[in-house]
Amino acid sequence: MMGKEYVPLPMSRVAELLEVPAADRDVFREAVDFLRMAGVVVVMKKERLCLAKGIGELCFGKMHFHSGRAPALFFPEVPQGEPRAEALKVGPGDSATSLHGDRVLARILPRRGSRRDASEPRYASVLYVVERSRIKFVGTLRRSGRFWTVAPDDPRIRVEFLVPDPADTKLDPLPKLGESVMVEMAHWDNPRMSPEAALLASFGKARTPGAEYKALLATYGLDPEFSPAVLRELERIPAEVSPADSAGRRDLRGIRVFTIDPDTAKDFDDALSIEPLSGGGWRVGIHIADVSHYVFPGTALDADAHRRGNSTYLVGTVIPMLPHKLSSGLCSLVEGRDRLTKSVFVYFDASGRLEPEKTEFANTVICSAKRLSYRQALAFLRESRLDSIRKLPLPASHETGHAGRALADLSDAELQGLRTDIHTLWKLAERMRKERMFEGALDLDTPDVAIHVDPEGYASSVELLQYDESHQLIEEFMLAANEAVARELRRVQLPLIHRVHDKPDAAKLEELSVYLRTMGLDVRDLSGRKELCRALDLIRAHPQSHILRTQFLRSLKQACYRADADGHFGLNKSNYAHFTSPIRRYSDLVVHRILDVLLARRGDSAAPANPVRYNKGALDVVAAHLSITEQNSTQAERESVKIKLLEYFERECEGRPDLSFEA
């Protein structure tokens, strides 16, 4: 232990006392830096070294800044499985050079106040940044006197970056005052000085759709373009399904098949059909775009799809996993075109009970009779008059990949056939949903916000979308198909990428129960699934249900991909995989290839002669990569929604001078 007389020594003096040769001083500095990052030593002012245990309680953790002047928070790291520590306020001047999201080493300060009792909060003082959460930022280029600065768009980044005169850069075109730009922060270790940064790119006039779009692409590493190698491979792929492609497949073009998707859908992965059985009961076909017929391992197409991992749906546009020729063309189950599919046939008895033991799988060819939106499907369920259904408008052509025929152009027989199918499908789906909830699945579906854009890309309207029967109908049959494929592939012991949702930490559930009780909800031990479902019912009836549901979701773990069947907590399923969206998820494309191994064994004449075989080790690597790309896309999509909501409300205020946000 250090005595009272201990005085921290400069790094150079410590090197002398340790007799470090001059030639090894760089190695010495690297060793000190390693110890600093490990929290063993602290580098204080004027490069004075001090043992960490000699300057009070230290802790690693993450910084969280709010917009405005609210105090920053420090979230201490705790070992896996231990309760989360309370967030500590970071006083003015105590955040050092940390920015939002940075991992830092901080000193825990004594409680403030004259009495310093347990009711007084503790504070944290940041010693230094261990790891930056990011070093690239998007902001607006400004000028103050002879200095050029960039004000970050993220209000949680409370500094402005000093940048060189744009004229001194090699960027083409040169960034201009007021434009949206991206910068890369240089090393910053003096909080009294503004951080310096290099200009990387200019996106055009700030706060315009084009600039925001380019900024999002750059921030999240999204690429709307495909390589020349991919484009060359596309030239060899036909524009339409050929007779040779359809050969050997079960031909379903003689039965009514249709899709149900959002108004703004850019691609169409899945379609449904229903057939009454002669002995009573029904056969429901869940038909999924057969991307694996066109995208093979070892090709540039496959490599690019794997790299992207999934499509990213920004407001008003999509960054597709596959080129548009496939994603919104040949593979998309658009109305009136032959398309190759992989179909799961699920059977129901005369009472509407699912009979999983009868499930069938096949390579098929379909022709969708109608592209329906959710609001159109809901009208078939709720409207009794065909004339009322006919009046529903088509989705806006600039917002969707395919609008389909207007309902007004359909005959009475076509409309009546669709209505009969949708009513029957909903009765079956409703029963499946009730049974699923009774067995303990968590009802986590919430109303969503749809932001519509005008042809120029500006947010033109905001719509609250309820999660109604039309959405639930599709969800239930997609869940049934996903589970059926996972169950069968596991039964025959084929390795698989599973969709996994781990059990929540007990400590987080306890925190949630305390929080819900403070909001007036009578909840008990949430470690039991029955009580967790009851809490969701109470939240649904609460006036602040949106806030409470958000807190509930934050207490759960994030779903991910894994080669192990570790179960899906939210769905209460022990074995689950993603199969129904191969146009937009690489995981589903892999599962399709694995299903072909099974179909080939069973003599499906359309299955590849030598289907792709994966081992568990390879799937482990793919699953880890896809979990990362999914998180990146989710963050980009959320940011896109925030930007467009702000844009919409700003334009609304500009058009309404009576509106003001001033106090």
In whole angstroms, give the CA distance from residue 622 to residue 563. 9
pLDDT reported for residue 654? 77
CB 159 within 8 A of CB 135: no
Tell the residue number behind the tokens 């570790």, with chain if given: 566
The arithmetic mean of pLDDT across residues 590-618, rounded, is: 95
Which pLDDT value is given to residue 43? 73
What pLDDT is attached to residue 45?
65
pLDDT per residue as tens digits for the range 311-321: 999 998 999 99
For residue 544 the two structure tokens come to 């602040």
pLDDT higher than threshold 90 for residue 193: yes
H/E stretch holding 318: strand 317-319
Residue-level pLDDT at 340: 98
pLDDT of residue 588: 98
Question: What does the pLDDT look like over 509-553, one tens digit per residue?
Answer: 998 999 999 999 999 899 999 999 999 999 999 999 888 998 999
In the predicted model, what is the mean pLDDT of the chain?
A: 91
The predicted pLDDT at position 661 comes to 39
Q: What is the pLDDT of residues 139-188, one digit of tens each?
A: 999 999 999 999 999 889 999 999 999 999 999 889 999 999 999 999 99
pLDDT at 374: 95
Q: Please say whether the beta carbons of 285 and 399 come within 8 A.
A: no
Which whole number is the average pLDDT over 406-421?
Answer: 96
Residues pairing with 49 in the sheet: 9, 43
**pLDDT for res 293:** 97
320: closest CA among 457, 207, 224? 224
Do 98 and 82 form a contact (C-beta atoms < 8 A)? no
pLDDT of residue 35: 82
Task: Read off the tokens for 366.
Answer: 């379909």
Average pLDDT of the residues in 48-75: 82
Q: What is the pLDDT of residues 100-152, one digit of tens each?
A: 999 998 988 876 554 445 556 689 999 889 899 999 999 999 999 999 999 99
Poorest-confidence range of 36-50, 219-233, 435-449, 511-525?
Answer: 36-50
Q: What is the pLDDT of residue 112?
A: 58
Q: Read off the pLDDT of each residue in 599-607 and give the average, rounded to a whole number.
A: 94
What gap in Å lies between CA 95 and CA 357, rounded to an integer?
61
The pLDDT of residue 30 is 85
Q: Give the dihedral of Cα atoms 115, 118, 119, 122; nearest 10 deg.
A: 90
Task: Give residue 514's pLDDT.
Answer: 92
Q: Is 122 exposed, middle or buried (0-12, 13-18, 19+ CB in 10 A)?
A: middle
Residues 282, 346 contacting (CB under 8 angstroms): no
Its pTM stands at 0.85
The token pair at 104 is: 């830092």
Residue 101: both structure tokens together: 């999201």
Which residue is it, tokens 């970050």? Answer: 152
- pLDDT for res 55: 63
Mean predicted confidence (pLDDT) in 91-107: 92
- Bridge partners, 204 (sequence order): 180
The pLDDT tens digits of the residues spanning 453-497 come to 988 889 999 988 889 999 999 999 999 999 999 999 999 999 999
ω into residue 173 within 30 of 0, thus cis? yes
Q: What percent of the chain has pLDDT over 70?
A: 94
Q: What per-residue confidence (pLDDT) applies to 660?
A: 42
For 38, 91, 102, 389, the CA distances from 97, given in Å and listed in that order, are: 18, 13, 10, 60
Burial category of 216 from C-beta neighbours within 10 Å (exposed 0-12, middle 13-18, buried 19 and up)? buried
What is the reported pLDDT for 448?
A: 83
**pLDDT value at residue 398:** 85
Confidence of residue 3 (pLDDT cuts 50, 70, 90): low
Distance (Å, rounded) from C-alpha 303 to C-alpha 110? Answer: 54
Residues 630-661 pLDDT 10s: 999 999 999 999 999 988 988 888 765 554 43
With a CB cutoff of 8 Å and minimum separation 6, the contacts of 134 are 101
At residue 390, does pLDDT exceed 80?
Answer: yes
Helix residue spans in 132-196 (DSSP H): none
Rg (CA), the chain: 29
